[in-house]
Amino acid sequence: MNISTHQNLHAMQSLQRQYAENALLPNIDWQALFEQQSLTPAQITALDTIYQSAIPLALTVFKRLNFDVFSPTAYHPQGLGLFDQLAKQEDRFLDILTAMSDDLNHETRHQIWSMLLRGGAVLVFKTWLGLVKTGRLCIDLSQFDELSDLLWIKTKPEQLAKQLRVDGEAEYEHLFLTFEDQVFLERFNCLETAVLFSQLGVYDPVFLSLRDETVAEFFLAQQLVTEEQIEELQCALNPLNCADQTSKQDYLV
């Protein structure tokens, strides 16, 4: 990339960031982004509401701390206090989101609730970042884990349901999204969310326990699963050698 092209790209990114800080965001065609799936109107509205709520606030905090989301080195913000600063903004974000979703129907608010508990704010931010960095509709997959840790909400599912006026046991779909070869909205913001989604039948608690040791420890303590159930599933998946370890996955932030 020559100097002129680099300067033009930097100028365009800076302009888009300034627009976004003032809630002037480029439109996202969520159905086109997740073309492998058929999204409902409620799911599209939920994604867009989170998008319109989360991006301006996150960018304002990043700007205050001189955190450049377009710089590769910015994904290791030692000493900048980003975690603390973003955590302090969570209540404000939820207040903004609640106000924006107040006139939406229950199904759409339920989708917002479900997505936020599983990284919805991360997903919309990385979509904005991908669009601004490349000029095309995509999700920025570079350094995903490092940046995502900054944007997960920590509010417990019951508290979030109360704030959004959601019945957590309502029988709506809990959406998983696929882009390229990655699945999104499959992790949990806390152990309580893992318990809830197991109780709702979205996840099998024994399978989660087999794949994630932290979840297993918590589920065993809560008597949601037993060691025997975990061992039986391990043997069922690998009958020739039950001692083999099933591949692990981190389901928690």
Sequence spans of domains, the chain: 3-185, 204-253
Which residues are CB-contacts of 195 (< 8 A; sequence separation ≥ 6)? 218, 219, 222, 224
Indicate the pLDDT class of residue 251, thresholds 50, 70 and 90. confident
DSSP one-letter code for 75: G
End-to-end CA distance of the chain: 36
Q: Which two tokens stand for residue 4?
A: 């002129």
Tens-place pLDDT, residues 223-249: 999 999 999 998 888 766 655 556 667
Give the orientation angle of helix 41-64 with respect to helix 106-117, to 10 degrees.
50
Its pTM stands at: 0.85
**What pLDDT shows up at residue 2?**
47
Tens-place pLDDT, residues 26-51: 899 999 999 999 999 999 999 999 99
Tens-place pLDDT, residues 161-198: 999 999 999 999 999 999 998 899 999 999 999 999 99
Answer for the pair 202, 174: CB distance below 8 angstroms, yes or no: yes
**What pLDDT shows up at residue 218?**
95
